[in-house]
Amino acid sequence: MAKQKKDAITPMDVDFAKWYTDVITKTEMVDYAPVKGFMVIRAYGYALWENIQKAFDAEFKKTGHQNMYFPLLIPESFLNKEKEHVEGFAPEVAWVTHGGNEELAERLCVRPTSETIICSMYAKWLNSYRDLPFLYNQWANVVRWEKTTRPFLRTSEFLWQEGHTVHETFEEAQEETLRMLEIYRKVTEEFLAIPMVVGQKSEKERFAGAHATYTIEALMHDGQALQSGTSHNLGDHFAKAFDIKFLGRDNKEQYGYSTSWGVSTRLIGGIIMVHGDDNGLKMPPRIAPIQAVIIPVQQHKEGVVDSAKALFEALCDDVRVKLDDNENNTPGWKFNEYEMKGVPVRIELGPKDIENRQCVLVRRDTGEKLFVEWGENYENIKKVLCDLLEDIQKNMYQMALKHREERTTVAHDMETFETSIKTNPGFIKAMWCEDRACEDKIKEVTGATLRCMPFEQENIGSDTCVCCGKKAQKLAYFARAY
Query: Going residue by residue through the chain (482 aa), what tens digit of pLDDT does each one get?
Result: 444 445 789 999 999 999 999 999 999 999 999 999 999 999 999 999 999 999 999 999 999 999 999 999 999 999 888 777 667 778 899 999 999 999 999 999 999 999 999 999 999 999 999 999 999 999 999 999 998 999 999 999 999 999 999 999 999 999 999 999 999 999 999 999 999 999 999 999 999 889 999 999 999 999 999 999 999 999 999 999 999 999 999 999 999 999 999 999 999 999 999 999 999 999 999 999 999 999 999 988 999 999 999 999 999 999 999 999 999 999 999 999 999 999 999 999 999 999 999 999 999 999 999 999 998 889 999 999 999 999 999 999 999 999 999 999 999 999 999 999 999 999 999 999 999 999 999 999 999 999 999 999 999 999 999 999 999 999 999 999 99
pLDDT of residue 6: 55
Give Cβ neighbours of residue 317 (< 8 Å, ≥ 6 apart): none
Helix residue spans in 63-138 (DSSP H): 76-79, 83-89, 115-125
Smallest CA-to-CA distance from 85 within 95, 96, 93 is with 93
From the centroid of its chain, how far is CA 408? Answer: 21
Q: State how far the Cα of 145 lies from the Cα of 149, in Å rounded to an integer.
A: 9
End-to-end CA distance of the chain: 43
Contact criterion met (CB below 8 Å) for 202 and 402: no
Domains in the chain, start-ordered, CATH in brackets? 16-275 (3.30.930.10), 292-393 (3.40.50.800), 408-479 (3.30.110.30)
CA-based nearest residue to 44, from 273, 319, 268: 268
Q: Give the sign of the dihedral formed by CA 138, CA 139, CA 140, CA 144.
A: positive
Q: How many of the other CB atoms lie within 10 Å of CB of 105?
A: 7
Mode of pairing for the β-strands spanning 66-67 and 134-143: parallel
- What is the spatial distance between Cα 266 and Cα 482, in angstroms, rounded to a whole number? 10
User: For the whole model, what pTM was predicted?
Assistant: 0.95
Q: What is the dihedral of CA 438, 444, 446, 450, to 10 degrees?
A: 50
Helix (H, G, I), strand (E, B) or coil at 307: helix
pLDDT given at position 81: 85
Q: Which helix (H) or strand (E) holds 255?
A: strand 253-255
User: With contact defined as beta carbons under 8 Å apart, do 156 and 145 qualify?
Assistant: yes
For residue 83, how many other CB atoms are within 10 A of its CB? 13
DSSP of 33-56: -SSTT-EEE-HHHHHHHHHHHHHH
